[in-house]
Amino acid sequence: MEQKEESRRFCRRCLTRDMADQKEYFRTLREYIENLDADIKAPEGLYEERLGVCKECDLLLDGMCRSCGCYVELRAAIEKNACPWKKW
């Protein structure tokens, strides 16, 4: 008797850093964020606050904002950026 492949449910409201299967794929994005010039980079507390808002947003899908198409971690890392829906 064949075993049926177990269906898996994937989190669609995750940040790229939380996506286990795609960690290597997004490694360069995270490295880019880590190496942003200090003059444009958001302070760590502000960055994490922004990401917290994004994680609760219905528009977050696979680390991207469905409103504007950006990777939210990159948008949140640059201090002058803002949420397209003015949530932060």
What string of pLDDT tens digits covers the 88 residues of the chain?
444 444 555 556 677 677 666 666 678 888 899 999 999 999 999 999 999 999 999 999 988 999 999 999 999 999 999 999 999 9
Residue at 11 is within a domain: no
Cα–Cα distance measured from residue 68 to residue 22, given in angstroms and rounded to the nearest whole number: 21
Place of tokens 């917290």: 52
Residue at 31 is within a domain: yes
Contacts of 6 (CB under 8 A, 6+ apart): none
Residue at 82 is within a domain: no
Residue at 66 is within a domain: yes
Residue at 88 is within a domain: no
Range of the domain at 65: 16-77
CA-based torsion, 72, 77, 78, 83: positive or negative: positive
Residue at 37 is within a domain: yes
The type of residue at 24 is: E
Residue 76 contacts residue 42 (beta carbons within 8 Å)? yes
What 8-state DSSP symbol labels residue 70?
-
Residue at 5 is within a domain: no
Alpha-carbon Rg for the chain in angstroms: 15
Residue 47 contacts residue 17 (beta carbons within 8 Å)? no
The total number of structural domains in the chain stands at 1
Residue at 59 is within a domain: yes
Does the pTM surpass 0.85? The reply is: no
